[in-house]
Amino acid sequence: MTTVIARKPTKKAFHFPTSGDAKRAQRKAAAKAEAAEVVVQAKASEEPKEPKVQADVVASAKPVKAEKAEKAQKAAKKAAKTAKTPRVRELAVKAKVKPAKKEKVIRDSFTMPKADHERLAVLKRKCLDAGISVKKSELLRAGIQLLDSASSKRLLAAISALETVKTGRPAKGE
């Protein structure tokens, strides 16, 4: 047997829009447009700078992205200070630039000889002795960056020096 559950009546009734609502919406849209214009003007007033050349091969691009985000946030704050009305100032502060999106990571697996796997352990130990905790994937990524910066002759020599490995999982007895 089922019981009927009746909902209690709510106090809220349907809201009929009035002309005041339209005016408020227009003012809000105008304030947003003004705030966006102030932010654009603040960004345009910044001097374009020469791109920085990174000497370190292993350096990542994260610091550069962080600098751009910081500059954009400073521009938004500057725009908020120069805004005419408090509402525009508030919207300009809210119009902060979103932080740079993190790069999507991909999980992968691969096969390597035991000697190379032991080399990774040795390299991890060297980094720990130097006071840096590092993961195997970080070591592999650093190696990729080093190979990427190497000349094509050196890259081909390094690849030709490798022994070929049968792909897939090794047998349980091996």
> Rounded to whole angstroms, how far apart are CA atoms 51 and 64?
10
Write down the H helix ranges in 13-61: 19-45
Least Cα distance to 165 among 122, 115, 125 occurs for 115
Whole-number Cα distances in Å, 121 to 37, 117, 138, 140 = 55, 7, 12, 12
* C-alpha dihedral sign at 102, 103, 109, 114: negative
- Phi/psi of residue 48, each to 5°? -70, 135
Per-residue pLDDT tens over the stretch 65-118: 566 667 766 766 666 666 667 766 666 666 655 667 788 888 888 888 899 999
C-alpha dihedral, 151 to 154 to 156 to 160, nearest 10°? -170
Q: Which residue, among 31, 49, 48, has the nearest Cα to 39 in the 3D structure?
A: 31
How confident is the model over 41-70, as pLDDT tens digits? 766 665 544 444 444 444 444 455 566 667
Per the prediction, the chain carries an average pLDDT of 75
Rounded mean pLDDT, 144-159: 92
Question: Which tops the pLDDT comparison, 150 or 57?
Answer: 150
Q: Of 30-44, 92-106, 141-155, which has the strongest mean pLDDT?
A: 141-155
Give the orientation angle of helix 114-129 with respect to helix 136-149, to 10 degrees. 100
- pLDDT category of residue 35 using cuts at 50, 70 and 90: confident
pLDDT average, residue stretch 154-158: 92
Which segments of the chain are extended strands (E)? none
